[in-house]
Amino acid sequence: MAFKITDACVSCGACASECPVGAINQGDAQFEIDANSCIDCGSCANACPTGAIVQE
């Protein structure tokens, strides 16, 4: 299961720099995770200061 970014995202970018496969990019309103690229490692969730990243 891939991770997803919830509305609690404050667009700080901490998650994007931690993703080893580059699956996280800035979307229109907040950062988004490409579920097809996500390898379910959890690095992004651990780096998120607001806890906005959860497993789908």
- Cβ(48)–Cβ(11) below 8 Å: no
Q: What is the C-alpha to C-alpha distance for residues 50 and 36, in angstroms, rounded to an integer?
A: 24
Domain ranges of the chain: 3-55
Q: How many residues does the chain have?
A: 56
* Assigned CATH class of 3-55: alpha beta
> pLDDT 10s digit of each residue in the chain, 56 long?
789 999 999 999 999 999 999 999 999 999 999 999 999 999 999 999 999 999 98
CA distance 52 to 31: 10
Quote the CA–CA distance of 56 and 28 in Å, as a whole number: 21
